[in-house]
């Protein structure tokens, strides 16, 4: 299951499920998720559920899903049950893939929130020689994926002061990768618009490669 995290946020309202007002969690949903799954099933032999699967962090069934996707975390504002749910999920062996947030302010907000979940855990740059970058595709460079408007018009790839893309990570005490953080980039837009003839192929290729590698790594470690 490609599971999208439903979480509380400010500015766009609480994203508590299908029947409530959507929050930041729902950006690009469900098309990005479903379209990514088309590619994943075509490229790999992973037996993936073919539809979207949004789940709340406080849902007791969260541990059924080994891979979580969370985006727009610059507006994230987790409740105590969400903090507890995500903490317990990660400690039990889960994997969190973070995407689509930009600049210093959004980073500071994400850092504050994720340290509620994992207090005392260090956030580090993931070096390109880490096995995640070579377990399916060989990734030798981190591309910055702009939003779809900038990508199709050839405008600047960055937003706010997020000029440089980063792939960062949080590991546990035993070296297990808990959280993979894609900052200053928008992989979800590349999945969502990959079929658009005006969308640049290098962006969609890289976005699929990053996510496929992350899933293969998460499922095999």
Q: What per-residue confidence (pLDDT) applies to 10?
A: 82
Q: What per-residue confidence (pLDDT) applies to 19?
A: 36
Residue 74 CA to residue 21 CA, distance in Å, equals 18
Tens of pLDDT, residue by residue over 114-171, are 999 999 999 999 999 999 999 999 999 999 999 999 999 999 999 999 999 999 999 9
Taking 60 as the threshold, does the pLDDT of residue 17 lie above it?
Answer: no
Residue 143 CA to residue 135 CA, distance in Å, equals 18
Taking 70 as the threshold, does the pLDDT of residue 5 lie above it?
Answer: yes
Tens of pLDDT, residue by residue over 18-77, are 333 468 999 999 999 999 999 999 999 999 999 999 999 999 999 999 999 999 999 999
Torsion, Cα of 127, 128, 132, 137 (10° steps): 170
What is the pLDDT confidence band of residue 11, given thresholds at 50, 70 and 90? low
Taking 60 as the threshold, does the pLDDT of residue 14 lie above it?
Answer: no
Tens of pLDDT, residue by residue over 185-214, are 999 999 999 999 999 999 999 999 999 999
Torsion, Cα of 16, 18, 24, 30 (10° steps): 150
Residue 1 CA to residue 64 CA, distance in Å, equals 9
Helix or strand or coil: residue 195?
coil
What is the pLDDT confidence band of residue 12, given thresholds at 50, 70 and 90? very low
What percentage of the chain reaches a pLDDT higher than 70?
Answer: 95
Torsion, Cα of 161, 23, 186, 5 (10° steps): 130
Q: What per-residue confidence (pLDDT) applies to 22?
A: 62
Task: Spell 166-195 as b/e; 16+ CB within 10 A means b.
Answer: bbbbbeeeeeebbbbbbbbbbbbbbbbbbe
């Amino acid at each position: 299951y490609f599971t999208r995290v439903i979480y509380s946020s400010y500015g766009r309202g609480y994203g508590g499920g299908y029947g409530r007002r959507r929050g930041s969690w729902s950006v690009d949903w469900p098309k990005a998720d479903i379209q990514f799954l088309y590619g994943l099933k075509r490229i790999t032999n992973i037996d993936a559920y073919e539809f979207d699967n949004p789940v709340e962090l406080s849902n007791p069934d969260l541990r059924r899903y080994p891979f979580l996707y969370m985006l727009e975390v610059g507006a994230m504002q987790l409740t105590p049950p969400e903090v507890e749910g995500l903490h317990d999920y990660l400690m039990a062996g889960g994997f969190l893939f973070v995407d689509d947030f930009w600049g210093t302010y959004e980073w500071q907000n994400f850092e504050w929130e994720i340290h509620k979940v994992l207090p005392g855990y260090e956030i580090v740059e993931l070096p390109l020689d880490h096995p995640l970058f070579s377990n399916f595709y060989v990734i030798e460079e981190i591309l910055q994926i702009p939003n779809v408007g900038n990508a199709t018009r050839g405008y600047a790839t960055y937003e706010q002061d997020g000029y440089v893309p980063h792939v960062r990570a949080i590991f546990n005490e035993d070296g297990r990768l808990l959280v993979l953080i894609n900052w200053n980039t928008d992989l979800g837009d590349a999945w969502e618009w990959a079929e658009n003839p005006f969308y640049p192929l290098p962006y969609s290729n890289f976005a699929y490669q990053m996510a496929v590698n992350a899933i293969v790594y998460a499922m095999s470690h």
